[in-house]
């Protein structure tokens, strides 16, 4: 399984944008924090990054589920949940 950590992403951003590691780290942190801050406004908020994708918030209904290991029933309260829908350019990059 391939993955990239935040530290590795900071390294790439720093190198490609000709920034110091500290400036690259700050840029990545600001970017991620601003997406989260905006989505925290609640349902019907979207962050649209043209070509990359859309982050949005949806409202999940409450439900009762059974834990398979114990057969215990647990109630999940209604809550908000983030979702991501990839854009066309990202889909094309992945399916090459």
Ordered structural domains, the chain, with CATH: 1-40 (no CATH), 44-88 (4.10.520.10)
The model carries a pTM of 0.76
Q: Burial of 64 by CB count in 10 Å (0-12 exposed, 13-18 middle, 19+ buried)?
A: exposed
pLDDT tens figures, 4-54: 999 999 999 999 999 999 999 999 999 999 999 999 998 889 999 999 999
What's the CA gap between 40 and 5, in Å, rounded? Answer: 24
What's the CA gap between 48 and 88, in Å, rounded? Answer: 12
Categorize the per-residue pLDDT at 79 as very low, low, confident or very high, splitting at 50, 70 and 90. Answer: very high
Q: Is the pLDDT of residue 80 over 90?
A: yes
Contacts of 41 (CB under 8 A, 6+ apart): 57
pLDDT at residue 82, rounded to an integer: 95
Q: Any idea which residue has 């990839």 for tokens?
A: 86
């Amino acid at each position: 399984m391939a993955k990239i950590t935040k530290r590795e992403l900071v390294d790439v951003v720093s190198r490609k944008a000709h920034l110091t590691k500290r400036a690259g780290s700050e840029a990545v942190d600001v970017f991620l924090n601003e997406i989260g801050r905006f989505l925290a406004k609640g349902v019907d908020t979207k962050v649209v990054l043209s070509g990359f994708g859309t982050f949005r918030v949806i409202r999940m209904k409450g439900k009762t589920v059974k834990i398979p290991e114990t057969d215990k029933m647990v109630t999940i309260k209604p809550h908000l949940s983030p979702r991501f829908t990839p854009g066309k350019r990202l889909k094309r990059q992945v399916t090459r």
